[in-house]
Amino acid sequence: MSNLKEILENKKICKSVWFMRQAGRYLPEFRKIRSKNQNFINLCLDSELSSEITLQPIKRYNLDSAIIFSDILMVPYGLNQGVEFIKDRGPVLEEFNLRKFLNNDKISFTQKLNPVYRAIQKTREKLDKKKSLIGFIGAPWTLLIYMLGAKESKQDINYEKIKANESEVNIILDKLHEYLCSHIENQVSAGADVIQIFDSWAGLIPQNDLPNYCYIPNLKIVNFCKGKKIPVICFPKGINKNFKEFNNVVNPDGINLDYDVDPNWAKQNLSNVVLQGGLDPKILLSNSQDFLSAAKKYLDIFKGLPYIFNLGHGLLPGTDPDKVKELVKFYREF
């Protein structure tokens, strides 16, 4: 069995492989398109090109699942907050305005993101029916950090800014939940059959606030997905041994491990869930012996468990596509 949807629903031992950020920056065929399309948001809104990019790694590696080429920050964009991707700096969002944010409605939100849904529809039409098509969202907390401009570095946020405006933050999180559920439903209606929730900055939440800002917001979205019978994978990056409590509270169908989680610890502590990923993407920048040995470690540890082969974060821009091919071949033959 390799269909991701069936694996997540039935929690069966299987063979399945896909990679986070498999469609994009490390592939020469993507870079060719990107060189002609400098505005990243506009590229995500080009349904034809977005679909083509989504299918590039499927054509190259015959992976078991495609993940739509888009971005978690398409949601703030759909909510009329300016988003710009600046080279060597990353995303920059215009100053948050609560009144403007609350003045949105789901009809205009859907219309603004309709090109994303058309891209999913076009991809589903071209994709082998046996392969899953993954849609995704950013978790409320992670989007909040970007929207409020609270991120100061890869390791730090202005947490005082969050706590000083706690009542406003709670309003934003509740409203974000509504739009994220709409975005999920629209993606599934267009042809996605699995959703992954990226909580990229969960690891920046102090221990005492994990329930309010990580567990509960993810739980509400997972419960929404379960109510709609949509298989869902959570990725609360950076929370280390709190993965156990997250899994117990949120109870997703699948949970993606980051590369800081000891796979032996995960095997012993994370139950009744399909495990995914864990392999450090930086290992693919090393020699074949090193990255194949690292991959074997994960496959040996999770042998006999429902496990989807993936990474502990997205493929890095400097990754050699031939090494990805070698890794996929190794996995298929394991």
Tally of domains in the chain: 1
Confidence of residue 304 (pLDDT cuts 50, 70, 90): very high
Concerning whether 25 is annotated as a catalytic residue, the answer is yes
Please choose, from the candidates 267, 282, 73, 279, the residue with its C-alpha nearest in 3D space to the C-alpha of residue 176.
Answer: 73
Backbone angles phi, psi at 90, to 5 degrees: 95, -165
Are the CB atoms for 147 and 172 separated by under 8 Å? yes
pTM beyond 0.85: the answer is yes
Candidate list 34, 118, 159, 259, residue with the active-site label: 34
Concerning whether 124 is annotated as a catalytic residue, the answer is no
Q: What pLDDT is attached to residue 308?
A: 97
Q: Residues 53-72: pLDDT tens digits?
A: 999 999 999 999 999 999 99
Average pLDDT across the chain, whole number: 96
Secondary structure of residue 310 in the 3-state scheme: coil
Q: Please say if the pLDDT value at position 88 is more than 80.
A: no
In this structure, what CATH number is given to the domain that contains residue 188?
3.20.20.210
Q: Please say if the pLDDT value at position 3 is more than 90.
A: no
Task: Provide mean pLDDT across the span 113-129.
Answer: 98
Concerning whether 118 is annotated as a catalytic residue, the answer is no
Q: Residues 169-203: pLDDT tens digits?
A: 999 999 999 999 999 999 999 999 999 999 999 99
Candidate list 46, 61, 64, 71, residue with the active-site label: 71
Q: How many CB atoms lie within 10 A of CB 223?
A: 13
Q: Please say if the pLDDT value at position 324 is more than 80.
A: yes
Concerning whether 89 is annotated as a catalytic residue, the answer is no
Please choose, from the candidates 88, 75, 79, 302, the residue with its C-alpha nearest in 3D space to the C-alpha of residue 197.
Answer: 75
Q: Which domain holds residue 155?
A: 4-333
Candidate list 26, 77, 117, 146, residue with the active-site label: 146
**Interatomic CA distance for residues 275 and 257, integer angstroms:** 7
Backbone region of residue 237 per phi and psi (left: phi > 0; alpha: psi in -120 to 50; beta: other values): beta
Confidence of residue 29 (pLDDT cuts 50, 70, 90): very high
Concerning whether 213 is annotated as a catalytic residue, the answer is no
Q: What pLDDT is attached to residue 14?
A: 81
Q: What pLDDT is attached to residue 2?
A: 66
Task: Provide mean pLDDT across the span 32-44.
Answer: 96
